Structure 1
């Protein structure tokens, strides 16, 4: 059980702790055992009495420093613990890895053994080489009587381990041990203690690591016990911490709120509870709010980082509706991009929740947002419209982006039709000269091509790369790989031929690397502003689109 808990905490924090304990509880040491150790390990109480009466060395150690008392405690053999302590065993002895009997008793959650060891003089602030205290160990295993005994004996409730500055309260929160949380806070634990603050105090430096799906690079993620519980969806722990003084609007240094963290990790029930307790649904200091985050998480990329599996009974749509009811701004623009590790081409600066839902062709969310007052015409900072992204503009890879598989084409067509009906202009161009029809070529969706052309989309419109929709479908190099959509190229060629347009000279013979001319600096340059609107001569009229000569 202990190793399972260690594995969980390693996954949560990336902290290496308890190596010594895993060594202790591993297979027996190959070296020959003395008679007293052998008797203790076999559970032979009478044999232990006999050996002690015969002046056996109660402090005898094995090659790794383990004593009979270690083994008696490890096996939770309280009667043997009493015998050994009465015979003079050192309650504070440590093996070669720094593990004491009190540490082992805390692992086992044995209140009787802990009480006896403390009475015999064991140090309640005993810690391993990495700084893990016996109180932290007890907090993780969750035995309240052990925690209370340690606190009563003088254990420091705010001690922290060295790797990340985590406290016993944080470990109790991560394990959802509500009784331990209450006991620790009543015993003086600081409910608002932060990991990076403590770590910086000790090391004089800063560190960075992942928070859920977000990579931070400032002064560290600075977890509190509440943020640990939120990240893991430990609803009972979240409730207890909020009641006992935790800040429902707690944030990381970059401004990521507890509510956004819950959404980021798919912890929708926790998010709902935070809203009920007054969490600010508009919080977006790091660049986006919880509504943006939930919509993003509904359809993440395929074949890369798996999306988080949240806890609880609520769905993402439940949380979306809760956010809307609580007053979230459904038209709030993102001011910086997600940092979630997924491959992405869309500049999400300026993106509203509706544009994100359109990118994922998530028609259910699109309708909910429209009912809540979302503006379906707002573009991102590059002037990319909801219609463009629904058609396929800024898709990284067909089949990889959320809503980009071949099976998604019917819903993509539904989204495109919805957006045109809502007033999105099929002739609109973004700052790279792309139209919705270029997007359909990226996606490889003949049905969307047909519909857009019926609505007046220009077949020979050229992007700033000089690409027409047919050029893209015929084959170009972008997003690291060469891609082509033969069926879509054939359909575009047919439609062009019907209108007297030729594909001559449109093939991208050099297989230009689309992304070689773009970098994340484009997104950074666009933050906080909108690029200039295209001039009238850059936007062809609807009436001039069909049968016009190719643009040069």
Structure 2
């Protein structure tokens, strides 16, 4: 009832000829921006019906405000995103920092919005037209760079699954893998290293292997071996990377720290098992 009453009131206001492009205090958002930010799909649909621009560009003083679609992405409003795209909202619009829709989803950790965009982009052929998977912001960062920088593991997995480039370099010559080392993002680095060797890990199979082979001790040994392989691979990459001396030092620190963590975990597990077997004797 409340939604119906609101819709009738809004319809009456819009029917009266109010300016659907009007800004709050001349420098603020339009009604469509507000509807998209708060996920009010009914209001957004009516505003679009009465002529609101799905690609409405608004400036707040000298700064470009996010587009309606960017706001919907940022706040994970899938139904509003679909509505805007159906009304011609552009994939190609970027913010003042050059961030694309995927960059925005990742920075705000809007996983549902990210997966929706990736699915629509690949199924509709949008990625072929705009290369949104590897679109670069003003720092030459692809969405994968940003996901790695924030340690957003789920986004890294999704981007890799949809074919994001692991070889793209940012403005400082860093690939996502090198950046993961610099930012000490261990899990991201392992995912990227696995991808670089063309191996697609299957979590359920790994769990089954762990159960059949004795579990955590063998896993720890495997993880340490993987780190050594990662270290070797990284030094090959760094030979062709700017500032390789500084990065080499970071690699040593990263791998050494991770190895210490694995060994400490292994020792703790052994102590727990000994204590458990002793108490049960």
* 1:117 maps onto 2:59 in alignment: no
* 1:150 maps onto 2:84 in alignment: yes
* 1:274 maps onto 2:207 in alignment: no
* Structure 1, unpaired ranges of 5+: 1-42, 47-76, 197-220, 281-316, 340-346, 369-552
Match of 1:193 in 2: 135
2:67 corresponds, among 113, 133, 151, to: 133
* 1:328 maps onto 2:232 in alignment: yes
Match of 1:167 in 2: 100
Larger radius of gyration: 1
Per the alignment, do residues 122 and 262 of structure 1 end up closer, same or farther by CA in structure 2, a change over 3 Å counting?
A: same
Determine if contact 1:248/1:279 at 8 Å carries over to the other structure: no
Provide the rounded CA distance (Å) in 1 between the counterparts of 2:137 and 2:53: 25
Provide the rounded CA distance (Å) in 2 between the counterparts of 1:331 and 1:165: 31
Match of 1:86 in 2: 15
2:29 corresponds, among 99, 112, 128, to: 99
> TM-score when scaled to structure 1?
0.35
Per the alignment, do residues 232 and 353 of structure 1 end up closer, same or farther by CA in structure 2, a change over 3 Å counting?
A: closer
Match of 1:252 in 2: 170
Provide the rounded CA distance (Å) in 1 between the counterparts of 2:137 and 2:76: 21
Provide the rounded CA distance (Å) in 2 between the counterparts of 1:352 and 1:241: 25
Match of 1:493 in 2: none
Matched ranges for 1:348-363 at <5 A: none
Determine if contact 2:177/2:189 at 8 Å carries over to the other structure: yes
Determine if contact 1:176/1:234 at 8 Å carries over to the other structure: yes
Provide the rounded CA distance (Å) in 1 between the counterparts of 2:47 and 2:135: 30
Per the alignment, do residues 255 and 337 of structure 1 end up closer, same or farther by CA in structure 2, a change over 3 Å counting?
A: closer
Determine if contact 2:55/2:67 at 8 Å carries over to the other structure: yes
SS of 2:88's equivalent in the other structure is coil
* Structure 2, unpaired ranges of 5+: 199-220, 264-281
Deviation at residue 266 of structure 1 after TM alignment: 2.8
* 1:264 maps onto 2:182 in alignment: yes
* 1:176 maps onto 2:109 in alignment: yes
CA RMSD, Structure 1 to Structure 2 (Å) = 3.8
- Post-superposition CA distance 1:172-222 (Å, at most 9, x none): 1222323322443425352211112xxxxxxxxxxxxxxxxxxxxxxxx31
Deviation at residue 152 of structure 1 after TM alignment: 1.0
Provide the rounded CA distance (Å) in 2 between the counterparts of 1:167 and 1:353: 30
Between Structure 1 and Structure 2, which shows a larger proportion of helix residues?
2
- Post-superposition CA distance 1:327-376 (Å, at most 9, x none): 7258779779979xxxxxxx86986966x69xx9x7x65xx9xxxxxxxx
- Post-superposition CA distance 1:529-548 (Å, at most 9, x none): xxxxxxxxxxxxxxxxxxxx
Per the alignment, do residues 111 and 91 of structure 1 end up closer, same or farther by CA in structure 2, a change over 3 Å counting?
A: same
Deviation at residue 78 of structure 1 after TM alignment: 4.3
Per the alignment, do residues 333 and 115 of structure 1 end up closer, same or farther by CA in structure 2, a change over 3 Å counting?
A: closer
Deviation at residue 81 of structure 1 after TM alignment: 2.2
Matched ranges for 1:51-450 at <5 A: 77-95=6-24, 96-129=26-59, 130-131=63-64, 132-162=66-96, 164-185=97-118, 186-187=120-121, 188=126, 190-196=132-138, 221-278=139-196, 321-326=225-230, 328=232
- Post-superposition CA distance 1:111-132 (Å, at most 9, x none): 2221111111110001221332
> TM-score when scaled to structure 2?
0.65
Deviation at residue 100 of structure 1 after TM alignment: 0.4
Match of 2:202 in 1: none
Determine if contact 1:226/1:238 at 8 Å carries over to the other structure: yes
Per the alignment, do residues 333 and 90 of structure 1 end up closer, same or farther by CA in structure 2, a change over 3 Å counting?
A: closer
The number of residues matched between the two structures is 222
- Post-superposition CA distance 1:80-108 (Å, at most 9, x none): 32332233333222231141000001110
Provide the rounded CA distance (Å) in 1 between the counterparts of 2:68 and 2:178: 33
